[in-house]
């Protein structure tokens, strides 16, 4: 139906308008703000300062590098674990068994829970006086009064597990959807050729899932990089900025100190890193090259 009518343009017009105002314009304005001193609480100091924000960020701001390093660690650990566990979960609920529909609804359900609510739930679970570790201690497992979120040694794993609870279903859903598109005769042919379960997984399942894995890990990596809700409410970036990610640092600059100029420079840094990473990842993984 190749047409030369105005119809398709009219149909996408609302989307274009919203994107222009709330996505394109903000990016442009972040670029502009990043070259300015702009603090809401000190408007008399506002003005154009060139690359001063970037100089400060790169050479004087310890927390920038620290938060960037933590962001990288966070993304790699989260996406890696979510992918592996999500794939295992998808394979499990792709089998036929009694109560499968219910099992799927249950194991996927944390995906619908917000970051703040996840924090609320896990604070109840982690709390030192009436939490799960206290309960376990009563049964003789571990020490009573363990505060996993307050202890610098355990705050990272505790935060990772919390985010896994909500993040694994994302991969499981996407990969399950893709698993269901694998033609059954591929498996049968492999079986006839004498391939065992593991062999079939390696030579039929994984190659088929390849594009879905590349796409979901990339989307998830960007999403986890930008994830603020959970860390903001669970640890607030602490203890001692140990769990501060770059976006959390930006959000704190914006919300707490209203330093829009410097916050914008940090945002630009995040953009450039994400863009570079995404292009590199798609290139290296040869996305979409599957025959």
Partner 1 sequence: MTQTLTRPETPVSPPPPAPPRRKKHRDPSRFFRLHLPLAFYLLFTLIPFYWMLVFALRPAGETALVPWPITFEHFDTVWNGIGFGLFFQNSLIIGVGTLVVVTVFALMGGYALARFKFRGQRVFLLALLCTQFIPGAMMLIPLFVIFKSAGLLNSLTGLIIADTAFQLPLALILMSGFVRNVPVELEEAAMVDGCSRLRAFFAVTLPQLRPALVAVGSFAFIGAWNNFLFALMFASKQDKFTLPVGLSYALGEFNTDFGALAAGGVVAAVPVVLVFAVVQRFLVQGLSAGAVKG
Of the pair 35, 250, the CB lying nearest partner 1 is at 250
H-helix or E-strand spanning residue 134? helix 132-138
Cα–Cα distance, 168 to 107 (Å, whole number): 9
x-or-dash pattern for partner 1, window 194-233, by CB under 8 A?
A: ------------------x--x---x--x--xxxxx---x
The answer to the question of residue 36 lying near partner 1 (CB under 8 A) is no
Cis-peptide, bond into residue 239, ω within 30° of zero: yes
The correct pick among 46, 66, 127, 154 for binding partner 1 (CB under 8 A) is: 127
Q: Which of 259, 256, 167 is nearest to 217 (CA)?
A: 167
CA distances from 192 to 94, 174, 180, 188, 189 (A): 22, 29, 21, 6, 5
Q: Which is nearer to partner 1, 63 or 88 (CB)?
A: 88
Bridge partners of residue 47, in order along the sequence: 37
Q: Tell me the closest approach of the beta carbon of residue 156 to partner 1, in angstroms.
A: 19
Segment 162-201, which members bind partner 1 (CB under 8 A)? 165, 173-174, 176-178, 180-181
Nearest to 110 by CA among 156, 159, 173, 157: 173
Q: Of these, 63, 72, 254, 282, which contacts partner 1 (CB under 8 A)? A: 254
> Contact between 116 and partner 1 (CB under 8 A)?
yes
Strands 47-48 and 36-37: antiparallel
**Token pair for residue 45?**
């100091």
Binding part of the chain for partner 1, among 60-68, 76-84, 112-120, 183-191 by CB under 8 A, reads: 112-120
Within 260-279, the residues that bind partner 1 by CB under 8 A are: 260, 263-264, 267, 270-271, 274-275, 278
Cβ-Cβ contacts under 8 Å for 118 (sequence gap 6 or more)? 110, 162, 163, 165, 166, 230, 234
Q: Name the minimum Å distance from CB 251 to partner 1.
A: 6
69 binds partner 1 (CB under 8 A): no
Residue 22 in tokens: 């709330």
Q: How many residues bind partner 1 (CB under 8 A)?
A: 90
Residue 127, SS3?
coil
- Asked if 101 touches partner 1 (CB under 8 A), the answer is yes
Q: How many Å apart are CA 165 and CA 122, to the nearest integer?
A: 10
Q: Is 125 in the site for partner 1 (CB under 8 A)?
A: yes
Binding test (CB under 8 A) with partner 1, winner from 42, 69, 135, 152 = 135
Say whether residue 87 binds partner 1 (CB under 8 A): no
Q: Is 247 in the site for partner 1 (CB under 8 A)?
A: yes
CB closer to partner 1, 77 vs 132: 132
Q: Which stretch binds partner 1 (CB under 8 A): 5-13, 50-58, 65-73, 188-196?
A: 5-13
Q: CA–CA separation, 124 vs 243, rounded Å?
A: 20
Considering only 21, 76, 206, 280, the residue that binds partner 1 (CB under 8 A) is 21
CB of 51 to partner 1, least distance (A): 18
Distance, in Å, from the CA atom of 150 to the CA atom of 145, rounded to the nearest integer, reads 11
175 and 212 Cβ atoms separated by less than 8 Å: yes
């Amino acid at each position: 139906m190749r047409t030369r009518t105005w119809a398709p343009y009219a149909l996408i017009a609302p989307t274009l308008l919203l994107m222009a105002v709330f996505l394109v314009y903000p990016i442009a304005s972040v670029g502009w703000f990043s070259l300015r001193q702009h603090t809401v609480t000190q408007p008399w100091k506002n003005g154009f300062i060139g690359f001063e924000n970037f100089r400060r960020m790169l050479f004087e701001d310890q927390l920038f590098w620290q938060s960037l390093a933590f962001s990288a660690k966070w993304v790699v650990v989260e996406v890696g674990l979510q992918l592996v566990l999500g794939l295992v979960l998808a394979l499990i609920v792709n089998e036929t068994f009694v109560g499968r529909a219910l099992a799927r609804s249950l194991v996927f359900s944390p995906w619908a829970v917000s970051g703040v609510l996840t924090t609320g739930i896990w604070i109840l679970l982690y709390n030192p006086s009436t939490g799960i570790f206290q309960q376990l201690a009563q049964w003789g497992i571990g020490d009573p009064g363990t505060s996993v979120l307050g202890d610098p040694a355990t705050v990272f794993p505790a935060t990772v597990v919390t985010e896994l609870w909500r993040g694994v279903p994302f991969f499981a859903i996407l990969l399950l959807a893709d698993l269901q598109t694998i033609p059954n005769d591929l498996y049968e042919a492999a079986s006839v050729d004498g391939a065992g379960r593991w062999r079939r997984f390696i030579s039929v399942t994984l190659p088929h899932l390849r594009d879905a894995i590349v796409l979901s890990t990339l989307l998830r990596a960007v999403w986890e990089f930008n994830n603020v809700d959970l860390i903001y409410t669970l640890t607030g970036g602490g203890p001692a900025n140990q769990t501060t990610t770059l976006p959390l640092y930006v959000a704190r600059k914006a919300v707490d100190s209203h330093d829009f100029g410097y916050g914008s420079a940090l945002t630009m840094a995040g953009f450039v890193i994400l863009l570079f990473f995404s292009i590199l990842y798609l290139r290296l993984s040869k996305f979409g090259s599957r025959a």
